[in-house]
Amino acid sequence: MSTTPDLVNFERVAIRYGRGPEVLTDATLDLPQGSFTFLTGPSGAGKSTLLKLCYLSLIPSRGHIRMFGRDSALLTNPERQAIKRRIGVILQDFHLIEHLSVYENVALPLRVSGQSRSSYNADVVELLQWVGLGHRMDALPPTLSGGEKQRCAIARAVISKPDLLIADEPTGNVDPIIGKRLLRLFAEMNRMGATVLIATHDMHLINELDARVLRIENGRVLKGKPE
């Protein structure tokens, strides 16, 4: 039996929006500390909803979620915010700040934590070069392509070396070569100790790594690739 603690644990979790049907039904899963997991399923299956539950953006209709060993329903607001600061999130709509440059967007998590520019400048520049944005550091988000915005959002999510990295279709707007490079970045984050959860419908991406795969079918979380 593994003794690796779970960073995230769902026990019979369900959620619905308003009076509609349940999007997730009796979802049970665990993300062991240091694990790398792909989450797949058809469009509309509930992948994004499950991710939102994982980064505490949604509250389940029923069931229990434990985050970092704590029952999410019992967290005070300061405790909830402290946990959120340990999570890096990459969303499909990027959430870049349009009046800040690419460099400033990526450096923002470090700046708001009180770090000086001299302490993080080299890391930010190196990361931007790695994701192919070294020549766009001074550009503003409205001037970026969709793929460039995606890479900027990814760099911002990983720059603070989060304990838990959650990504929703992180390679959906980039070409296959850049997609493989970004996957190597996620794998390196995992090698350094981060727990990684990536939602994707791209089976080519999933086949690139020997990682655990979960899938959502009919509102339930199942193990393994779709048949």
Residue 215 · residue 222 · CB < 8 Å: yes
Q: Which two tokens stand for residue 20?
A: 């509609």
- Percent of the chain past pLDDT 70, that is, above it, reads 98
Band (44; pLDDT cuts 50, 70, 90): confident
What pLDDT score was predicted for residue 3?
Answer: 52
What pLDDT score was predicted for residue 4?
Answer: 63
Per the prediction, the chain carries an average pLDDT of 92
What pLDDT score was predicted for residue 191?
Answer: 95
For 55-70, the pLDDT digits (tens) are 999 999 999 999 999 9
Domain boundaries, the chain: 96-159
Q: If we measure between CA atoms, which residue out of 62, 160, 148 comes closest to residue 109? A: 160
For 166-178, the pLDDT digits (tens) are 999 998 888 888 8
Band (202; pLDDT cuts 50, 70, 90): confident
What pLDDT score was predicted for residue 92?
Answer: 86
Q: Is pLDDT at 18 greater than 90 in this prediction? A: no
Parallel, antiparallel, or unpaired: how do β-strands 220-223 and 212-217 relate? antiparallel
What pLDDT score was predicted for residue 158?
Answer: 95
What pLDDT score was predicted for residue 52?
Answer: 95
Which distant-in-sequence residues (6+ apart) come within 8 Å of 137 by Cβ?
101, 102, 103, 125, 128
For 87-108, the pLDDT digits (tens) are 999 998 889 999 999 999 999 9
Q: If we measure between CA atoms, which residue out of 136, 152, 146, 154 comes closest to residue 173? A: 146
Residue 46 · residue 71 · CB < 8 Å: no
CA of 136: how far to CAs of 65, 171, 214, in Å?
A: 40, 19, 36
What pLDDT score was predicted for residue 1?
Answer: 39
CA separation for the pair 57, 143 (Å, rounded): 29
For 108-158, the pLDDT digits (tens) are 999 999 999 999 999 999 999 999 999 999 999 999 999 999 999 999 999
- DSSP character string of 4-28: PPEEEEEEEEEEESTTS-EEEEEEE
Residue 77 — φ and ψ, nearest 5°? Answer: -60, -45
CA separation for the pair 162, 165 (Å, rounded): 6
Which pTM does this prediction carry?
0.92
CA separation for the pair 168, 198 (Å, rounded): 6
Looking at the chain, which runs of residues are DSSP E strands? 6-16, 22-32, 36-40, 62-67, 70-71, 87-90, 164-168, 195-199, 212-217, 220-223
Q: Which two tokens stand for residue 77?
A: 């607001």
Band (2; pLDDT cuts 50, 70, 90): very low
Query: Could you tell me if residue 46 is left (phi over 0), alpha (psi between -120 and 50 degrees) or otherwise beta?
Result: left
